[in-house]
A and B are shown apart, each in its own frame.
Chain A
Amino acid sequence: MSVSPPLRRSPMALGLTLLAWLAAVLFLLLPLASLGTEALRKGLGGVLRALADDDALAAIRLSALVVAVCVPVNTVCGLFAAYALTKYDFPFRGLLLVLIELPLSVSPVVAGLVWVLLFGAHGWFGPWLAAHNIAVVFALPGILLATLFVTFPFVARTVMPVMESQGRAPEEAATMLGAGFGSVFLRVTLPEIRWALLSGVLLCAARALGEFGAVSVVSGHIPGQTETVPLHIETLYNGYDTVGAFSLAAVLALCSGAMVASRTLMDWLRGRRSVAR
């Protein structure tokens, strides 16, 4: 591995560093701080009251449910997609690669609209669903589908480079030693990618929690029923309930912050361990 040259300290570098910090404070920390102060304008009691509100609790429950469904589903699907794409060669492999990345490049609004087009009242399957009394759009299934779509790439994309770099050699070695497909996957493939996988799962969870655009299109904004936390924040804000909006927003920001922090901590720990080895 190449060793990068030692960092130089010059007035120019100092200036740039200061600028970077300034930008970080201005665009990241300041808004976050304002979030906190706005939420606490009526004291801690105001925050607690806002969070104990029925609709707010329903929104939190719904968001938790969405995360609880989407993260496991996309972890399993992403894992197998990455496995197939990196360890096997098959026709239209390139196409599948593009498809996996699609949710990253498509606007979330579009990601929501496609479900409305498919399952909405005037959509392709709308009449059939209506006839069988199944609600997809403006109901939980729609919200889940939209979130699943948007969060699909994260696990696959973080795991693939690691799998790619290892090639099929570890799996082939395990096979030659008599391990079956299940053993190979559980004892060799999974452990070798565990850090990347954890990182991908956290990213996926953070996005599932925070997704606004796609969910907004399919949810119908029914307070207490189809509003996730981000949607409920918007409703509160539009209703001039700033304390309520900012309290929930602060909770959301804390959750995301915790996930990002644990990812960073994990990378740092792993970095330290690999140096120690």
Chain B
Amino acid sequence: MGVDLRNISCLFGRTPAVRDISLRVSNGEFLALVGPSGAGKTTLLRIIAGLEPNYTGQLSIGARDVTRVPARERNIGFVFQNYALFRHMTVAENVAFGLRVRPRKRRPARAAIAARVSELLELVQVGPLAQRYPTQLSGGQRQRVALARALATEPELLLLDEPFGALDPLVRKEIRTWLRRLHERLGLTSILVTHDQSEALEVADRIAVLRDGSLEQVDTPDALEDRPSSLFVHQFLGETVGFDASAGTDGAILSLNGPWNGTPARFPEPATAPGPGPGRRHLSLRPWEIGLEPTDAQGAARVTGMGRAGPFLRYAVRAPDGSHAVEVLRPSSLPPLPEDGGCALDLRLARVFAQPGADDTGA
């Protein structure tokens, strides 16, 4: 079921944890919520769940306005970061809980509950563990049980708060692709909080980037990567290499600034610039997006070291005066560059941002 947040804000004492967020999640969508620690991801998720009653704004789930509906009546599946399984109940009892506490009129018969529980345990692949207690399970198994418990009441909206945080990387990777398939199979709408960007990029249809309680950008993984709305978003989603530069009156980049001043380089088209007019800019690229072309020209950058990095060769590239170095990844299929040779920089893939702290009319 779709979720519609309109101007949601939340204060803890005097500090705002969530600031005026408007966001629409459509039916069947898998949305990832990312951001640095303390950005307000958990708070926003708890607001949607109804566990954080002190917020302002409007919230609807499906066609229903739930702004004032208590958590227990929202029928949302919630998977907690530390599982929050009931320790005094077996796996089967944990999963059955949501059905057993229903008022008698809506409560399924005992046999129906048992059938549903075993069906769910099969679905999350922990069928044989039904009679164990949570402390007798591994982290990954607890995670699956927590998911089965959340799904028992057939919620149409599933909220997950860093559900894979405590798992080792291999299990993590396996369980997240599995979660994505489950999401499709059950026709769920899911919101996943994570601070692992690769996880978000891999499973989500769209990613919402939060920063200091505000929504920085919401977009598909591709759009976020190709057209980040701010330097913060680009840096948050992966490793970056940055250069300061100056733009001319038509917005085209003219030259690099600082230690790289005078280094021969190719720049992106003016169309990608954040705004017309001269001024200082910041160019940001992934390490593998920088092209290196051997040259003997004056002021060329110097290759000072290299090593392997998977399918790439890793080069340390120094500014002409030697004061500054960046790491560049280059496919190892390309001919290797000579050690200590000069090279020009191909920065055509750079995202261009107005330079932080500099006004556009400067320079």
Contact = CB atoms under 8 A, between A and B. Distances in A.
Contacts of A174: 86, 97, 101
B33 to A, nearest CB: 17
B80 A178 contact: no
Contacts of A172: 51, 71, 78, 80, 84
Contacts of A175: 51, 71-72
A194 B87 CA distance: 12
A169 B84 contact: yes
B129 to A, nearest CB: 13
B82 interface: yes
B78 A176 contact: yes
A169 B84 CA distance: 6
A164 to B, nearest CB: 15
Interface in B292-324: none
A179 interface: yes
A177 B101 contact: yes
Contact of A277 (B49, B135, B150): B135
Given A172-B84, A173-B80, A173-B86, A179 B49 contact: no
A interface: dominant SS: helix
A277 B132 CA distance: 9
B75 A178 contact: yes
A178 B86 contact: no
B72 A180 contact: yes
A176 to B, nearest CB: 4
A234 interface: no
A183 interface: yes
Q: Which of A176, A183, A187 has the most CB of B within 10 A?
A: A176
B251 interface: no
Interface in A125-179: 169-170, 172-179
A38 interface: no
Given A192-B88, A277-B135, A176 B101 contact: no
Q: Which of B76, B84, B136, B152 has the most CB of A within 10 A?
A: B84
B276 to A, nearest CB: 51
A15 interface: no
Contacts, number: 67
A169 B80 CA distance: 8
B101 A178 contact: yes
Contact of A176 (B86, B87, B150): B150
Contacts of A183: 101
Nearest to B159: A176
B141 interface: no
Contacts of A274: 135
Interface in B136-150: 136, 149-150
A192 B86 contact: yes
A188 interface: yes
Contacts of B152: 177
B77 interface: yes
A239 interface: no
Contacts of B149: 173, 177
Contacts of A192: 86-88
B27 interface: no
Contacts of B71: 172, 175-176
Interface of B: 49, 51, 71-73, 75-78, 80, 82, 84-89, 97-98, 101-102, 133, 135-136, 149-150, 152-153
Interface of A: 169-170, 172-180, 183, 187-188, 191-192, 194, 274, 277
Ranked 10 nearest A-B pairs via Cβ: A177-B98, A169-B84, A173-B84, A179-B101, A176-B78, A191-B88, A183-B101, A175-B71, A175-B72, A178-B72
